A and B are shown apart, each in its own frame.
Chain A
Amino acid sequence: AQKITQTQPGMFVQEKEAVTLDCTYDTSDPSYGLFWYKQPSSGEMIFLIYQGSYDQQNATEGRYSLNFQKARKSANLVISASQLGDSAMYFCAMREGGGSSASKIIFGSGTRLSIRP
């Protein structure tokens, strides 16, 4: 069965430091996709990054990168040079069958990141 775990309910980080948000998953499907989302206090959901299970390289989008360790079933989000605007709730999610597959997405419980000035 699909499972997504985010073990850090909350984190405090000093501005300009790098941040790693943990995400582990469990699936028996060899084809799957992993997502990270950001939800500021305003409530809107922002898609950050996607990693397919067959992608050879770790996904990167600007200051965001996904540290994909397939054998460990880990998909940590790394934010380089954190900014005050990075303070938000972050969700990890997984879809079996890859990004375009007709299967449901499940979400982790989220990590609340707070950036200190």
Chain B
Amino acid sequence: KAGVTQTPRYLIKTRGQQVTLSCSPISGHRSVSWYQQTPGQGLQFLFEYFSETQRNKGNFPGRFSGRQFSNSRSEMNVSTLELGDSALYLCASSSLHSGTSKVTQYFGPGTRLTVL
């Protein structure tokens, strides 16, 4: 079974530009979540999608948006990039084991975004 894939792996943009990151979850997983990791702020939750619906969003400005397609692939978009958006963006897909509360998550390798 293929793992979670994220594209691109590395990206360099300049301030004011916009960027779209893609995440393909493990086949059969309908839940995809996104996280931002920076040295200063640590790990922060961005948003989560389940069956094409955004279930929750972290404390990020409206410049950060996302969506999920019918095949569960997800994209996140950051508009009007700022220097502080430089980060590792991680995507994870989750499975909930039926009949239990057990959850398993699988992460992609991440997209490292540098804003100049």
Q: Which of B42, B107, B109 contacts A107, CB < 8 Å?
A: B42
Q: Which residues of A contact B33 (CB under 8 A)?
A: 105
| A86 → B minimal CB distance (Å) | 18
Q: How far is the CA of A103 from the CA of B48 in the complex (A)?
A: 9
Cβ of B107 and Cβ of A47 under 8 Å apart?
A: yes
Cβ of B96 and Cβ of A99 under 8 Å apart?
A: yes
How many A residues, CB 8 Å from partner? 25
Which one, B13-21, B51-59, B70-78, is touching chain A?
A: B51-59
Within 8 A of B (CB), among A67-117: 91, 93, 98-100, 102-107, 109-110
B interface vs A, CB < 8 Å?
31, 33, 35, 42-45, 48, 50, 55-58, 88, 90, 92, 94, 96, 101-107, 109-110, 112
Q: Apart from A100-B96, A105-B45, list 18 A-B contacts with CB within 8 A.
A: A33-B101, A33-B103, A43-B88, A43-B110, A46-B107, A47-B107, A50-B104, A54-B101, A91-B43, A98-B101, A99-B94, A99-B103, A100-B31, A102-B48, A102-B50, A106-B45, A107-B43, A109-B42
